[in-house]
């Protein structure tokens, strides 16, 4: 069976299944982790009308694609990128996703030999349209979009890079225009020129996802610009959606202290923290101040709690300055996007000591490593003081990774350490190995959690192994 026949058969099955359903069908997005479930669509007349009256779809000769839109080139791209070699199912595509993928911005005025900057009017920089690329990324479940001078556009899906032939390869001039006369303001350009890096946010302006936020990192490689866009959900997942453990939820009920959620970059820490903060919003009456770079999730303003979000570089000079200022604003809870140095750790602990619940992240790969990182930021008497304060204020540490499941989605696996008197003594003594042994004895290491995920049928062993740090322990657990 040809891929084109396979496509037609899919839509035949799609329409037939619609007529058999009595209630509703849940049309899900491609990536369960990165995208919200597409709003449930009523089967009845509304669906059939959309299917049969769309200008993009014809029922003559069993043709579902309008040839002006799905010409040979676009059909080939559609087949290669989305059909592959596997049979399609209702979970893979929906009419809504196809409508989104069909969206095209206003045609550019540029040609292959003549570049025009239309950023402010239509979004085009030459023949490159960022919002078109990001629209496809969001619709197909990508987590990141990678745009580098003189290289193919790439996207990350479930931790793997996919390179695209369907977009132009931007040269250095296009990237310079995109950054300096497009995405970045003058103030942001100044930071990029000064620091050689820029972290911030970009909001889509065109297409079906206009208003959707992304996190961006801009830098250079071999003196050529690159931009990485991290797709941010347009909703905050619930604790249940993310399977956040009750133990972690209990930490957020403390009136003061310190909570750390750690893990490598790109493991969903920001999403988990947003879910925790949103749950506090919905269940208490607190004042919450967040200091982020950039602001990712926008918290609702119609809850009993008050949330004040501040962005480093726009609303405050830095994490340290924002944290110091926040303690003068009568908050109950302070969320600091990341702690990286002695000043930020010291100030975060001071916030926890003075009656606030402080929440933050670190880029570490295990609970003991997190404690060791904090310890090694200081020396001498200052180290002993900091470790004593950490023992008194720390409520819990979580470490999180993402693992590919059997349905090509991803789910979070967390190792959790709730602080008790035994752990406090180990922290004061700086006994990181003792903390590790405690976790092993209580079957709470990341290796235990990954092994359990395999035994529960959530993922294949090969996928769990990709996140293992202690292979000797993991191999022992898998025997």
Averages of pLDDT over each 10 residues, the chain, 479 residues = 46 45 36 39 37 38 38 51 44 71 93 94 97 95 96 94 95 97 95 94 96 96 96 93 97 97 93 97 97 93 95 91 93 94 93 95 94 95 95 97 93 97 96 97 97 97 96 96
Task: Dig out the tokens for 420 from the structure.
Answer: 């008790």
Omega into 58 within 30° of 0, i.e. cis? Answer: no
What's residue 313's pLDDT? 87
What b/e sequence results for 173-184 when a residue is b if at least 16 CB atoms lie within 10 Å of its CB, and e otherwise?
ebbbbbbeebbb
What's residue 21's pLDDT? 38
Task: Dig out the tokens for 93 from the structure.
Answer: 């595509």
Strands 333-336 and 357-362: parallel
What's residue 9's pLDDT? 53
Can you tell me which residue has the tokens 């369907």?
166
Task: Dig out the tokens for 290 from the structure.
Answer: 């967040």
What's residue 50's pLDDT? 40
């Amino acid at each position: 069976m040809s891929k084109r026949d396979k496509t037609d058969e899919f839509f035949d099955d799609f329409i037939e299944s619609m007529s058999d359903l009595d209630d509703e069908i849940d049309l899900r997005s491609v990536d369960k982790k990165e995208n919200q479930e597409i709003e449930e669509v009523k089967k009845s007349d509304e669906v059939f009308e959309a299917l049969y009256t769309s200008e993009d779809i014809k029922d003559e000769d069993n043709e579902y694609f309008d040839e002006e839109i799905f010409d040979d080139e676009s059909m080939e791209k559609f087949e290669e990128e989305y059909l592959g070699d596997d049979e399609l199912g209702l979970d893979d595509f929906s009419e809504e996703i196809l409508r989104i993928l069909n969206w095209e911005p206003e045609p550019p005025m540029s040609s292959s030999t003549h570049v025009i900057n239309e950023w402010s009017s239509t979004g085009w920089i030459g023949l490159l349209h960022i919002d078109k690329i990001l629209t496809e990324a969001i619709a197909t479940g990508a987590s990141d979009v990678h745009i580098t001078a003189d290289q193919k556009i790439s996207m990350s899906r479930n931790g793997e890079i996919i390179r695209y032939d369907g977009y132009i390869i931007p040269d250095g001039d296009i990237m310079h225009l995109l950054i300096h006369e497009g995405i970045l303001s003058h103030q942001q350009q100044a930071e990029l020129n000064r620091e050689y890096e820029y972290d911030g946010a970009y909001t889509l302006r065109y297409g079906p996802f206009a208003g959707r936020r992304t996190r961006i990192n801009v830098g250079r490689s071999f003196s050529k610009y690159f931009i990485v866009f991290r797709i941010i959900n347009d909703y905050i997942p619930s604790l249940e959606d993310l399977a956040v453990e009750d133990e972690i939820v209990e930490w957020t009920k403390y009136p003061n202290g310190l909570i750390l959620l750690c893990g490598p970059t790109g493991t969903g820490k920001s999403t988990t923290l947003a879910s925790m903060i949103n749950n506090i919003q919905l269940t208490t009456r607190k004042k919450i101040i967040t200091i982020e770079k950039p602001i990712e999730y926008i918290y609702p303003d119609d809850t009993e709690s008050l949330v004040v979000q501040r962005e480093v570089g726009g609303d405050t000079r830095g994490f340290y300055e924002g944290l110091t200022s926040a303690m003068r604003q009568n908050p109950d809870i302070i969320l600091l996007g990341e702690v990286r140095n002695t000043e930020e750790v010291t100030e975060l602990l001071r916030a926890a000591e003075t009656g606030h619940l402080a929440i933050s992240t670190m880029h570490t790969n295990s609970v003991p490593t997190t404690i060791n990182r904090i310890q090694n930021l200081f020396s001498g008497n200052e180290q002993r003081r900091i470790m004593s304060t950490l023992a008194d204020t720390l409520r819990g540490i979580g470490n999180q990774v993402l693992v590919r499941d059997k349905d090509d989605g991803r789910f979070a696996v967390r190792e959790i350490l709730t602080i008790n008197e035994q752990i406090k003594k180990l922290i004061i003594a700086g006994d990181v190995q003792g903390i590790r042994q405690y976790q092993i004895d209580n079957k709470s290491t990341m290796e235990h959690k990954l092994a359990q995920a395999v035994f529960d049928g959530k993922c294949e062993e090969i996928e769990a192994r990709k996140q293992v740090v202690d292979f000797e322990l993991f191999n022992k657990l898998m025997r």
